[in-house]
A and B are shown apart, each in its own frame.
Chain A
């Protein structure tokens, strides 16, 4: 699996590089948005591990994603952040990242997440699952009526998100709900798609609303 690391801290990059598992081949490192875009086009890695906060650009990681929008089909992005702020995280997800993990994740966790993203599935941390539940109004009991509906989660998706927010790994979610891991991954990918395509919540708006509550 060929991976490009994008983070402005060289110490962090080298530390992470040393921690990643043997299945990961780091083909390049970038420190700025411009450099990242250039390397993505040049190297065509399988996965880009993308820091949400990059210096010298307004949009940070989201900007890299926007400028690489044409490649999103072949190159997958996994967002990496120290941030807890909903706007930052949901911003990169909506721009096209396939998942989000925190910087305090261990090397093994990052490796696992990279593998998941490389195989086409989505990576949700408990915190991101929490954001999603909030964004789709689950606390108010809202539920999708049909499969096609983008603005609300189905009952099953809600269950999966809740378990992930409670700290369950995919295989634990599968065991808990008596479904296969593949099905869990399908649900998570569906939620990711809804998060990216839903027009219901302009996410800064709901973040504000959430603050007001």
Chain B
């Protein structure tokens, strides 16, 4: 049962990584591309915990690095840290609630900020004159754009668990 679950998550991760390099760039606004793999890392952290998210973050980041052909190890490093920090939001009892409310969006926003801040801060070293400004600009926009994509798991989980919004 556990193996099945692991295989399922791994196949989802691989699909997302392939999507990240093929379909997702189509949604790019200028140079800003949302990071759906990050959504998966946060999801793993919320569902399974800190260690799984750390390892998942490292592996998915490593694969992304290989496919993107940029700084090998950078995504792995950043996603490892993000997965680790995301693990602090883990609570076995509130997973469904987190995924079906804006809490997931908020968590993704915070972690994406951390992820992109770290990533672009290292990535722009020696490339841009003003590394901090470039990091804020690129990291900020990418964070917002990635956060927008949380609606996909959000809608998936609200439909799955038939959450009825109580306007009152």
Whether A and B are associated in the same complex: the answer reads no
Interface positions of A (Cβ within 8 A of B): none
Interface positions of B (Cβ within 8 A of A): none
